[in-house]
Structure 1
Amino acid sequence: MKLGFLTACLPALPLDEIAAWAAEHDYQALEVATWPVGNRDSAAAHLDVAHFGQADADRVRALIDRHGLELSAFAYYENNLHPDEHRRAEIATHLRHTIDAASLLGVPYVGTFIGRDPDRTVKENIALAEKELPQLVDYASERGVKITIENCLMTEWHPDGYPGNLAYSPELWEWMFSLGLHLNYNPSHLIWQGIDPVEALRRYVDHIPHAQAKDTQLDPVRRNRHGVFGKSIERDDPWDNSWWPNRIPRFSDLDWRHIADRVENDGPWHNGWWRHRIPGLGDINWRRIVDTLYEGGFTGVLSVEHEDPVWSGNEKKVKDGLRLAHRTLRPLILT
């Protein structure tokens, strides 16, 4: 097992600087953000995969090798069942670009979401997924790449704050495995649903080639007012459920003062009853998570996904958050 992090938490920095910092601070791998350059809110583009050729692959490979790192996966987490067919086709095209770039670089995994059309029932979405996703799985397989699905709920994709990504529970994992998809396991999205992240992990390690490390801190007192899925009548916008520090307009032109203003004005919990934290600062038992991964034979990368509002606000605080995550996780991982 190796320890890495998802580069999306540092959207304003080029990959060269991120790689140098990661190596200097004893990270071993990078999960690289590959959203489209210049036209996707709330994300990062550390490689322009839509215009990525062999020369680009050679340059990136030299960079990663120079710093003694590994590229664990490419990250393009989008709604592959988007209700607008034109937008759905755009997403599929960019996912193929990401797969092509991964293939050129020998990156084994591309991470994404299944997604959901909120106007359809779960059964209708499953039928849609069984129509749309196998062709993407085949496209990836032909290029030596596997598609991994993160189990994030993406409640902001549903108008009422219900699950917007059909990969949020073990029941749905078993279904998506039948399509040739794999799980990018992230325990932070299980604990607030009432799912034991260790017991959920134990049965499925064989289907998990890549995992993410993000913690969640719970406030049951706040939950007593709104219930598990958060506010209904008082919910003014799709993101108004937990405290999400990264969801701001034009993230590629990030103004860190915007995040600092949200912390000052809204408080660190915003309007939700749970919030994501750096591993070790929430309610997840990371010793048991890592031990269960080892027990199940996991040999992949555990990639820190930094979405902690306390350790956001400027580049230094984000890096300090990554250092804190390293302090929690690195002693649990054998060298």
Structure 2
Amino acid sequence: MKLAFSTLGVPGLPVSDVVWLAADNGFHGVELRAHPEEPVHPGIGPAERSEVVALFQERGIEILGVAGYARVAAPGDDAPVLAEIRALLDLAHDLGAPYIRVFPGGGDEQTAEEADATAARRLGTAAEYATEYGVRILLETHDSHRTGADAIRVLGQVGHGQVGALWDVMHTWLGGEQPQESYAALFPHLGYVQVKDIGSAEDTTPLPLGAGVLPLGECVEVLSRAGWDGWLCWEYEKRWYESAPPLPPLLGPGREHLTRLLTEAA
């Protein structure tokens, strides 16, 4: 498996520094948070996109994906959501990234069945855009659809190879799902896996990998036993928890912890 980290852990850091951190700490790739407050987002032009690609290529680091904030199950008109997804696909295509991330975002204004249908309709339409750009859309296990069982209700309706799943191990755990159950639901659609660690269900402040309660070892074992050979991406949510320790000093030990889990699972 390849290892990456998300720029959510180093908010606002220049791309050159992000690439340096990845290379110097033994990571293979980076997930880019595509928000206007970050250096890389859909609003940057062709020259800036080319510069980003060059910086990553120079150090031999891959751009794993573009983490967007489109909410495919949210109530309202389809057009703005589809436009947001298309902009993310365009950015990912120009950066050479294989994936974009979208959220469910179903909310409380509709039933689960209505949210599923809304998400499936939009993702089905967006799948044609994804085919055009050669990029895969991944629905993250998050908010209204936090478990694999939740996500598969949508993905099963879409039934398109360019639409898949991003397994966030914290959210499936918070949803009461065991790693084997999550993998069994998601594996036909799985793009990559987001790992992290927290102190408890009540306190989701990010911790160094291995210092919390999430079943990371079990997740890695399930993936290894199944012969899955994709990406593990460390999403350290520093952006939302200002009191959390800075990520850069944790990257080396975090990579060592994941490597140890992979060795033990093998």
- State the alpha-carbon separation in 1 of the partners of residues 10 and 118 from structure 2: 34
SS of the counterpart of 1:100? helix
Alignment of 1:165-314 (within 5 A): 165=144, 167-178=145-156, 179=158, 180=160, 181-218=163-200, 273-278=202-207, 279-307=209-237, 312-313=242-243
Alignment partner of 1:124 is 2:111: no
- State the alpha-carbon separation in 2 of the partners of residues 308 and 56 from structure 1: 25
Alignment partner of 1:144 is 2:134: yes
Q: CA deviation at 1:131?
A: 2.9
Structure 2 unpaired stretches of 5+: none
Q: CA deviation at 1:111?
A: 0.7
Partner of 2:255: 326
Q: Does the 8 Å CA contact 1:111/1:150 hold for their aligned counterparts? A: yes
Two-structure CA RMSD over aligned residues (Å): 2.5
Structure 1 unpaired stretches of 5+: 38-43, 154-164, 220-272
Aligned structure 1 segments of 4 or more residues deviating by more than 6 angstroms: none
Partner of 2:29: 29
Alignment partner of 1:17 is 2:12: no
Q: In structure 2, what residue type is equivalent to 1:63?
A: L
Q: Does the 8 Å CA contact 1:205/1:296 hold for their aligned counterparts? A: no
SS of the counterpart of 1:107? coil
- State the alpha-carbon separation in 2 of the partners of residues 24 and 64 from structure 1: 13
SS of the counterpart of 2:151? helix
Q: Does the 8 Å CA contact 1:8/1:33 hold for their aligned counterparts? A: yes
Alignment of 1:51-70 (within 5 A): 51-53=44-46, 55-70=47-62
**Identity of aligned pairs, percent?**
24
- State the alpha-carbon separation in 2 of the partners of residues 287 and 127 from structure 1: 35
Residue correspondences, number: 258
- State the alpha-carbon separation in 2 of the partners of residues 199 and 318 from structure 1: 30
Q: Which has the larger radius of gyration?
A: 1
Alignment partner of 1:4 is 2:14: no
Q: Which structure is higher in helix share?
A: 2
SS of the counterpart of 1:218? coil
Report the TM-score when normalising by structure 2: 0.85
Q: CA deviation at 1:203?
A: 4.9
Q: Deviations over 1:106-151 (max 9, x none)?
A: 2111011122142111112222223322111211122111101111
Cα 1:218/1:101, change in 2 over 3 Å: same
Q: Does the 8 Å CA contact 1:208/1:298 hold for their aligned counterparts? A: no
- Which moves more between the two structures, 172-181 or 142-151? 172-181
Q: In structure 2, what residue type is equivalent to 1:217?
A: G
- State the alpha-carbon separation in 2 of the partners of residues 51 and 308 from structure 1: 24
- State the alpha-carbon separation in 1 of the partners of residues 60 and 109 from structure 2: 47
Q: CA deviation at 1:317?
A: 2.2
Q: Deviations over 1:223-251 (max 9, x none)?
A: xxxxxxxxxxxxxxxxxxxxxxxxxxxxx
SS of the counterpart of 1:277? coil
Q: Does the 8 Å CA contact 1:209/1:298 hold for their aligned counterparts? A: no
Q: CA deviation at 1:202?
A: 4.1
Alignment partner of 1:49 is 2:42: yes
Q: CA deviation at 1:84?
A: 4.5
